[in-house]
Amino acid sequence: MKKIYIATFVLSTLFFTGCADDYLDVDQTESISTDDVELFNNDAGATQFVTSIYNKFLNWDMTSFGWIGLSSITSDDADKGSSPGDTGTDKDVLDNLTYNASNPSVEGIFNANYDGINRCNQALNILPKLDKADANLRARLAGEAKFLRAFMYFTLVKCFGGVPIVDHLPIPGSDSDRIMQLTRKTSAEVYAFIESDLNDAIAALPEKSAYGANEKSRVSKGAAYALLAKVSLYQKNWQKVVDNCNKVTGYSLANDYATMFRPAGKFDSESIFEIYAQGAVPAKGIEGYSNTQGARGAGGWGWGFNTPSQSLVNAYEPGDVRKTATIIFRGTTLYDGRVIPTTVENETYNYKAYSSAYTDAWETDVDIKYLRYAEVLLMKAEALNELGQTSEAIPLLNQIRNRANLGATPAVSQADVRTAIWKERRVEMAFEHDRFFDLVRTGQAKAAFTADNNKVFVVGKHELFPIPAAFLKQAGTLSSQNPLY
pLDDT, position 465: 98
pLDDT > 60? residue 23: no
> 24-33, 46-55, 413-422: lowest mean pLDDT where?
24-33
Residues 372-392 have pLDDT tens digits of 999 999 999 999 999 999 999
Q: What is the mean pLDDT of residues 404-414?
A: 98
Q: For residue 4, what pLDDT is reported?
A: 40
Give the percent of the chain with pLDDT over 90.
Answer: 89
State the chain's mean pLDDT as an integer: 92
Label each residue of the chain as H, E or C: CCEEECCCCHHHHCCCCCCCCCCCCCCCCCEEEHHHHHHHCCHHHHHHHHHHHHHHCCCHHHHCHHHHHHHHHCCCCEEEECCCCCCCCCHHHHHCCCCCCCCHHHHHHHHHHHHHHHHHHHHHHHHHHCCCCCHHHHHHHHHHHHHHHHHHHHHHHHHHCCCCCCCCCCCCCCHHHHHHHHCCCCHHHHHHHHHHHHHHHHHHCCCHHHCCHHHCCCCCHHHHHHHHHHHHHHCCCHHHHHHHHHCCCCCCCCCCCHHHHCHHHCCCCCEEEEECCCCCCCCCCEECCCHHHCCCECCCCCCCEEEECHHHHHHCCCCCCHHHHHEEECCCECCCCCECCCCECCCEEEHHHCCCCCCCCCEECCCEEEEEHHHHHHHHHHHHHHCCCHHHHHHHHHHHHHHCCCCCCCCCCHHHHHHHHHHHHHHHCCCCCCHHHHHHHCCCHHHHHHHCCCCCCCCCCCCCCCCCHHHHHHHHHHCCCCCCC
pLDDT tier at 282, thresholds 50, 70, 90: confident
The pLDDT confidence band at residue 35, using thresholds 50, 70 and 90, is low
Where is average pLDDT lowest: 2-11, 32-41, 246-255, 412-421?
2-11
